[in-house]
């Protein structure tokens, strides 16, 4: 979904205007577990914007990649799909993880991936002007499940303000916040991310139909927001990453709010670009 632009003649620039086609946000749903997002292809999403969270770490890492100049990211459902696409994009970097660790040759039949899923790996020196083929345990699956939506936006704590602003400008009729989860279970950090976004929207949600999951995630965020890092020491993903010396530093990076002022978007061909 591209928000309409008009020329501001007084200041000689282009600016966003609220979407004149939409009558405003009518409903917000939050999907908490993979079983829910796996059913999205069965739904009519033509009037829906999907906002996908995988705080630890896929969507956080994608933001870092685009901030450092990556040209595009193509999310693959699994390793074979990423490898097959590498024939189409032979110059692309292969990135991804299984069980939190970079995909190695033992999982691919001999090919070591160039990058894992740590935001600290996606430096400007590695990714500037590069295309990336990425597969992760949950985040890339969640993104692909959303294909068919009018827009698919990538979100994490790092761009909460930008996502909230874009929602308020574009006014999608239906908004679905997709928590990628862990394996087939809920991920606490994604719950907190979705709750933080709803909290940012605040009073703008007056009169909007909000499902029970949306109320739940907002209350979860309100109870944890004073110490998000502390809250994640009790979560499955947070506890696991913090226990690994080589990955522990990823957690505070992924929780740092509003580092980025852009909202990457996945197009109808399944390619994500910085907007």
DSSP codes of every residue in 31-73: E-SHHHHTTGGGS--TTEEEEEE-TTTHHHHHHHHHHTT--EE
- Residue 70 within a domain: yes
Query: What is residue 112's three-state secondary structure?
Result: coil
Which two tokens mark 69? Answer: 């100049």
- Residue 86 within a domain: yes
- Residue 7 within a domain: no
- Residue 12 within a domain: no
Query: What is residue 74's three-state secondary structure?
Result: strand
- Residue 91 within a domain: yes
List the domain range (segments joined by +) for residue 199: 25-273
pLDDT at position 3: 60
- Residue 4 within a domain: no
Task: Write the CATH number for 88.
Answer: 3.90.1560.10
> What is the C-alpha to C-alpha distance for residues 180 and 186, in angstroms, rounded to an integer?
8
pLDDT at position 17: 40
> What is the C-alpha to C-alpha distance for residues 243 and 12, in angstroms, rounded to an integer?
53
- Residue 135 within a domain: yes
pLDDT per position in the chain (275 positions), as tens?
556 433 333 333 334 344 333 457 899 999 999 999 999 999 999 999 999 999 999 999 999 999 999 999 999 999 999 999 999 999 999 999 999 999 999 999 999 999 999 999 999 999 999 999 999 999 999 999 999 999 999 999 999 999 999 999 999 999 999 999 999 999 999 999 999 999 999 877 888 899 999 999 999 999 999 999 999 998 999 999 999 999 999 999 999 999 999 999 999 999 999 98
How many domains, the chain? 1
Whole-prediction pTM: 0.91
- Residue 77 within a domain: yes
């Amino acid at each position: 979904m591209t928000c309409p632009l008009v020329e501001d003649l007084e200041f000689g620039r282009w600016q966003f205007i609220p979407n004149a086609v939409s009558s405003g946000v009518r409903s917000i749903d939050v999907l908490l577990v993979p079983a829910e997002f796996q059913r999205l292809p069965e739904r009519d999403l033509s009037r829906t914007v999907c906002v996908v969270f995988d705080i630890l770490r896929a969507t956080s890492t994608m933001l870092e990649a685009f901030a450092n100049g990556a040209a595009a990211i193509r999310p693959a459902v699994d390793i074979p799909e990423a490898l097959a696409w590498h024939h189409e994009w032979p110059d692309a970097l292969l990135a991804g993880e299984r069980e939190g660790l970079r995909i190695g040759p033992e999982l691919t039949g001999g090919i070591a991936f160039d990058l894992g899923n740590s935001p600290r790996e996606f430096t400007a020196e590695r990714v500037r002007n590069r295309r990336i083929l990425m597969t992760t345990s949950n985040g890339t699956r969640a993104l692909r499940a959303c294909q068919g939506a009018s827009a698919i936006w990538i979100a994490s704590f790092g761009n909460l303000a930008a996502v909230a602003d874009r929602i308020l400008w574009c006014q999608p009729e239906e908004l679905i916040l997709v928590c990628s989860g862990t394996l087939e279970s809920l991920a606490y950090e994604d719950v907190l991310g979705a709750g933080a976004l709803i909290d940012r929207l605040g009073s703008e949600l007056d009169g909007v139909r909000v499902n029970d999951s949306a109320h739940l995630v907002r209350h979860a965020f309100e109870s944890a927001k004073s110490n998000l890092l502390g809250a994640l020491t009790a979560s499955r993903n947070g506890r696991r990453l913090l226990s690994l010396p080589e990955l522990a530093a990823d957690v505070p990076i992924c929780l740092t709010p509003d580092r980025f002022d852009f909202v990457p978007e996945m197009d109808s061909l399944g390619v994500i670009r910085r907007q």
